[in-house]
Amino acid sequence: MLDRMSLGPDLDESRSSRKTSNHQNQRKLSIFTARFRNALKKSVEGIIEAGRVLIEAKSELEHGQFSDWVVQELRFGTRKEGSRESDLRKADMLMFLARNDVISNPCHWHDFPPSPRTLWELTQIRPKQRLLELIANGTINPGMTREEAVALRQKNSQQRSPTPKLKREIAALLEVCIALGGGDGVLAHIRELKDVDNLPPAKEFDRAARWARQKLAQRRHSE
């Protein structure tokens, strides 16, 4: 009985400590929530600010607490049905934008459309210098829609990766491989042919590999 009574102050101190810790966590969450919601009232600046709030909160909150906060408090994510895992793609997008050198640069904010999804499409334009050129010449502007950003990204991708020209014999061979073997079979066959004597140089087969990938991508897209 004496031993049990002697533990009383320690238990009270532990409970008090937990209450203080929970109170501090709740206060911290309330501050993060207010900052996040206030940020979203702004335009492009607010999108970046919201992403930075999420980054800061993720680094400070305990494991699992961040996703619960995003889903339950911010309503910026969903809980996967039948699982404890969360779908935080919307939050991840904001954090990605906040980390992007071009999008997070205040010098460009007046040129950007105030839409996270549209901004994300713009980040997929490579290389970065090309994105900066499109900003400078006015192609990218505040009125741009997501559909226009997607079209611009696709156009830029096609310009960067023109279909390589192949010798007729190799092109015919690859067409057959694509029809019979699929993607893995095509690329494996190209690698094997590189080691055979009396065939075109290896760089010719490198071009063939790029050509095959594009053909396969086109075929999958049409299916």
Domain of residue 217 covers 168-222
In a domain, 177, yes or no: yes
Coil, strand or helix at 197 = coil
In a domain, 194, yes or no: yes
In a domain, 44, yes or no: yes
In a domain, 68, yes or no: yes
User: Is a pLDDT exceeding 90 seen at residue 219?
Assistant: no
Does residue 109 share a domain with residue 95? no
The residues, any chain, with a CB within 8 Å of residue 210's CB and separated by 6 or more, are 161, 164
C-alpha–C-alpha distance, residues 182 and 70, integer Å: 42
Among the ranges given (5-9, 32-36, 124-128), the one the predictor scored with the smallest mean pLDDT: 5-9
In a domain, 7, yes or no: no
In a domain, 77, yes or no: yes
Among 78, 99, 120, residue at a domain's last position: 99
Does residue 56 share a domain with residue 112? no
Does residue 33 share a domain with residue 92? yes
Among 121, 142, 160, residue at a domain's last position: 160
pTM of the model: 0.64
In a domain, 1, yes or no: no
User: Is a pLDDT exceeding 50 seen at residue 12?
Assistant: yes
In a domain, 17, yes or no: no
Residue that wins the pLDDT comparison between 111 and 198: 111
| Number of folded domains that form the chain | 3
C-alpha–C-alpha distance, residues 132 and 84, integer Å: 41
